[in-house]
Amino acid sequence: MKTSGGRHCRNSVNGANTVIKSGKGIGWTATGLILALVLSSAAFFIATQYLFGLIICNLGLIIHGVYRRGDFWVIGRVFLAQLVITLSLYYLMHGKDQLLEGATVVLRVLMAFIPGWWLSVTCRPEKIGEVLTWILPAKWAFVIAASLSLLPTMTREVREIYQIQCLRGARITPKALKDPRNWSELIHCVIFPLLIQLLKLSKQTAMAAQLRHFGKHKKTTHWR
């Protein structure tokens, strides 16, 4: 009996330690969520002369995200795509005079994107969903957490769709997209199929949640 009781006590202590560690993880997730929200908002609202300080903060996030095995080239691809599209539009509408302003817009968009990328790399979607239930209904928190968990899948789907359409001869290569007349082909060959695939994934996620009786109880529980 003593042996059994000792085992029970040790298991209880281990369980308590697990809960404490999980609580620390939730606290870290909440802090990261607030930090990402503040930095992403600052990218659009702070004055231009303070952008350098924001760049330094985001560089720290990039270094930490790469250390946590985040894909740095996701940021690079977003930056290059935004740079090409935005500068092309500015050049067509305003000529060479406002290209610097267009580059500033691209920089602000990138600074708003980096905190979200860092959050998705460093925090688990289920913990983000648990934190969001503090201020949002459980269903909305579930939708946001599920969307974050699908980001890697979305990235993979975009890459596969793009490669397949290039093999079919679609004029969506970086060289072909220098001509604005080919942008509509990018929408039809990549964007529309991606939206259809996302609708399919969202339907599957909703069905999985329904089969698990999600939303039937007012008080939600979280597996730690």
With pLDDT > 70 as the criterion, what percentage of the chain qualifies? Answer: 85
Position 14 pLDDT exceeds 50:
no
Outline where the chain has alpha helix (H).
Answer: 2-45, 51-67, 72-94, 99-122, 125-132, 138-149, 151-167, 183-186, 192-211
User: Distance between CA 75 and CA 155 in Å, rounded?
Assistant: 12
> Domain total for the chain?
2
Q: Which pTM value belongs to this model?
A: 0.66
Per the structure, the complete domain to which residue 111 belongs is given by: 16-123
Q: Are residues 36 and 65 in the same domain?
A: yes
Identify the band that residue 20 occupies on the pLDDT scale cut at 50, 70 and 90: very low
The answer to whether 154 touches 198, Cβ cutoff 8 Å, is: yes
Q: What is the pLDDT of residues 133-155, one digit of tens each?
A: 888 888 888 887 777 777 777 87
Q: What is the pLDDT of residues 65-83, one digit of tens each?
A: 989 888 788 788 878 878 8
Model pLDDT, residue 221:
67
Q: Are residues 190 and 111 in the same domain?
A: no
User: Distance between CA 14 and CA 47 in Å, rounded?
Assistant: 50
Q: Are residues 195 and 216 in the same domain?
A: yes
